[in-house]
């Protein structure tokens, strides 16, 4: 059965890139451009995994992660950011994986496969 991934990123180009690549891997992909939109979407329809940007205007990914884990404890969340230093922020430790953004999506795609196969 297809797995559903919610991609949360304020950059449209990245959202579309992730959507295309992850759909190529056989997933269904939903998009959200902000943390609030992501939380609203999760309320309406469950997903199997969330791919979450950290740096976003308004609610940042660390806060979104906290709220997601508060409500959906077992929903896997992958943090994806251009900034490796967030890894040392305790607010990010609740994530299931932490990926530094790169034009090469190999690591990200493999991590998603690993996490989804564990479910």
- What's the closest the beta carbon of residue 112 comes to Mg ion, in angstroms? 19
Q: How far apart are CA 61 and CA 54, in angstroms?
A: 4
**Binders of Mg ion among 54-93, rule CB under 5 A?**
55-56
Of the pair 56, 64, the CB lying nearest Mg ion is at 56
Q: HSE (CB half, 13 Å, CA atoms) of 85?
A: 1
Q: Which is nearer to Mg ion, 48 or 53 (CB)?
A: 53
* Alpha carbon distance 90, 98 (integer Å): 12
Stretch that binds Mg ion, among 45-53, 59-67, 72-80, 93-101 (CB under 5 A): 45-53
Does 10 contact Mg ion by CB under 5 A? Answer: yes
DSSP letters spanning 32-93: ESSHHHHHHHHHHS--SEEEEES--SSS-HHHHHHHHHHH-TTS-EEEEES-GGGGGSGGGT
Least CB distance to Mg ion at residue 41 (A): 18
Shortest Cβ 60–Mg ion spacing (Å): 9
Cα(80)–Cα(99) distance, integer angstroms = 5
Give the SS3 label for residue 100: strand
Nearer CB in complex with Mg ion: 7/29: 7
Report the residue from 3, 22, 47, 53 that binds Mg ion according to the rule CB under 5 A: 53
The binding site for Mg ion (CB under 5 A) comprises 10, 53, 55-56
């Amino acid at each position: 059965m297809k797995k559903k991934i919610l991609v949360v990123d304020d950059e449209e180009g990245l959202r579309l890139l992730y959507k295309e690549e992850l759909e190529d891997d056989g997933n269904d992909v939903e998009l959200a451009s902000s943390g609030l939109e992501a939380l609203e979407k999760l309320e309406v329809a469950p997903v199997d995994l969330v791919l979450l940007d950290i740096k976003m205007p308004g609610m940042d990914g660390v806060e979104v992660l906290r709220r997601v884990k508060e409500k959906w404890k077992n929903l896997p969340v992958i943090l994806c950011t251009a900034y490796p230093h967030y890894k040392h922020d305790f607010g990010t430790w609740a994530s299931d994986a932490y990926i530094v953004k790169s034009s090469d999506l190999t690591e990200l795609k493999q991590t998603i496969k690993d996490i989804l196969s564990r479910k």
